[in-house]
Amino acid sequence: MLQGKNALITGASRGIGKGIAEIFAKNGCNIAFTYASSVDKAVAFEKELSAMGVKAKGYQSNAADFKASEEMANAVIADFGKIDILVNNAGITRDTLLMRMTEEQWDDVIQTNLKSTFNLTKAFLRHFLGNKAGSIINMTSVVGITGNAGQANYAASKAGMIGFTKSVAKELGSRNIRCNAIAPGFIETEMTHALNEEIRNTWINGIPLKRGGTPEDVANACLFLASDLSTYITGQTINVCGGMVM
């Protein structure tokens, strides 16, 4: 479905981003991906992807840093020639009740989740305009739609990403650049494994499909938004949450 296309996926050394890179590669897409600090995992993953017969390269780059994102994007374009798909996936949590939330916990989450989306989209914008094509996919969360106690910083960052997605879709639709968001629910990754058993079970009991999602579940929705099957879809948020939010 993505034969001959090139994608840049942020935060793909593990979790959902890794799942997206694998599904894209299986569908013939060349993969540029970023990570923050997992050098060994990234090097091993680069080899794994290359063994699938696609071009693959990992870049250590802090998505929260505007200048670093610009430099990384230039390096990716120099290495790959053209980027067709941008997946803004890198994200973190710093969960705590507002009463205890520090300014640093607020800033870290807003910068890594929301500002990074601006940084990367800006960095590839001229390139997409020049190509008169592009599919941007922003990884938000159902929590950005519903809110969640203990996640005011995270929910605000993810709600911000939805507003950003809709605005970019309106601004760039006439240039054949699409921008959509995916809102995962409870997905089994290191991010959710950090939660204790009781909280995990409470989440899962509230899911109509009665299980946590997999990175592959989310990746399949990304594949659809990245591919030519969705050429008339922009500005949308697709919930991938087992029915948790309707």
Work out whether 10 is an interface residue with ligand NAP (CB under 6 A). yes
Residues in 206-225 at the binding interface with ligand NAP, rule: CB under 6 A: none
Q: How do 177-184 and 237-240 pair as beta strands?
A: parallel
Cα distance between residue 153 and residue 109, in whole Å: 6
Q: Which stretch binds ligand NAP (CB under 6 A): 46-54, 60-68, 97-105, 224-232?
A: 60-68
Q: How many CA atoms lie within 13 A of 70 on its CB side?
A: 5
Q: Under the criterion CB under 6 A, does residue 63 sit at the interface with ligand NAP?
A: yes
Closest CA to 136 of 95, 168, 170, 94: 168
Task: Assess 187 for contact with ligand NAP (CB under 6 A).
Answer: yes
User: Which of these segments, 72-80, 121-129, 167-175, 185-193, binds ligand NAP (CB under 6 A)?
Assistant: 185-193
Cα–Cα separations (whole angstroms), residue 179 to 48, 107, 109: 29, 25, 22
Among 35, 59, 154, 232, which one carries the catalytic annotation? 154
CB of 125 to ligand NAP, least distance (A): 19
The smaller minimum CB distance to ligand NAP, of residues 175 and 200, is found at 200
Angstrom CA distances, 195 to 95, 198, 206, stand at: 10, 8, 16
Candidates 5, 7, 8, 17; binder of ligand NAP (CB under 6 A) is: 17
Q: Does 160 help bind ligand NAP (rule: CB under 6 A)?
A: no
- Under rule CB under 6 A, which residues in 21-40 are in contact with ligand NAP? 34-38
Residue pair 34/90 in contact by the 8 Å Cβ criterion: yes
Angstrom distances, CA of residue 84 to CA of 96, 130, 166: 37, 11, 19
Interface pick for ligand NAP out of 92, 109, 136, 162 (rule CB under 6 A): 92
Strands of the sheet with 6-9, listed across from one edge? 56-60, 30-35, 6-9, 85-88, 134-139, 177-184, 237-240
**CA triple 59-17-220, angle to 5 deg:** 140
Quick check: is 154 catalytic? yes
Contact between 62 and ligand NAP per CB under 6 A: yes
139 binds ligand NAP (CB under 6 A): yes
Positions in 165-184 near ligand NAP (CB under 6 A): 184
Q: Which of 103, 190, 197, 228 binds ligand NAP (CB under 6 A)?
A: 190
Using only the alpha carbons of the chain, give its radius of gyration. 17
Q: Which is nearer to ligand NAP, 91 or 160 (CB)?
A: 91
> Residue numbers of the site for ligand NAP (CB under 6 A)?
10-17, 34-38, 62-64, 89-92, 112-113, 139, 141, 184, 186-187, 189-192
Q: Which residues are known to be catalytic?
A: 154
